[in-house]
């Protein structure tokens, strides 16, 4: 991974740990821009997934959904099935449409199950029961 991308991702993680979400989002945005410029789709997907989570936490639902959707699209072209499951989970959490969210929960559940991620399966099951 490019040093600039890795540095921005490290900054973002540190800012999140310090409870500084606005700065974390800016750092993830820098990582996304650099990844886009470098053609590093895996790093771009990773940054967008975290940007989705941060947007959701500040109640920017449409933005969160757009970031998660783009991340899922990118992850489909990588080998990172866990990243894909997590992006689909975030898309479900931010979906304005109940049926779309249900389909996302089902897909995420299948991925988590195949990966042996029990907490992910349990969260999906809980949301599918509603």
Exposure string for 93-110, b = 16+ CB within 10 A, e = fewer: bbbeeeeebeebbebbbe
Q: What is the dihedral of CA 16, 29, 53, 45, to 10 degrees?
A: -120
- pLDDT digit of tens for each residue in the chain (130 aa)? 689 999 999 999 999 999 999 999 999 999 999 999 999 999 999 999 999 999 999 999 999 999 999 999 999 999 999 999 999 999 999 999 999 999 999 999 999 999 999 999 999 999 999 8
Q: Number of structural domains, the chain?
A: 1
Q: Which tokens is 25 given?
A: 């989002």
Q: At what angle do helices 81-94 and 118-128 cross, to 10 degrees?
A: 30
CATH of the domain at 55: 1.25.40.10
pLDDT at position 1 is 67
pTM: 0.93
Q: Which tokens is 88 given?
A: 């689909």
Q: Which domain holds residue 38?
A: 3-128
């Amino acid at each position: 991974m490019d040093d600039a991308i890795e540095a921005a991702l490290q900054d973002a993680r540190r800012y999140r740990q310090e409870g500084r979400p606005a700065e974390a989002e800016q750092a993830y945005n820098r990582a996304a821009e650099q990844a886009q410029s470098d053609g590093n789709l895996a790093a771009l997907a990773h940054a967008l997934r975290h940007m989705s989570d941060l947007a959701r936490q500040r109640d920017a639902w449409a933005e969160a959904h757009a970031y998660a959707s783009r991340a899922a699209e990118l992850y489909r072209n990588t080998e990172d099935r866990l990243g894909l499951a997590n992006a689909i989970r975030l898309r479900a959490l931010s979906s304005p449409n109940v049926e779309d969210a249900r389909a996302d929960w089902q897909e995420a559940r299948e991925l988590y199950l195949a990966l042996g991620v029990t907490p992910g399966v349990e969260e999906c099951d809980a949301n599918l029961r509603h």
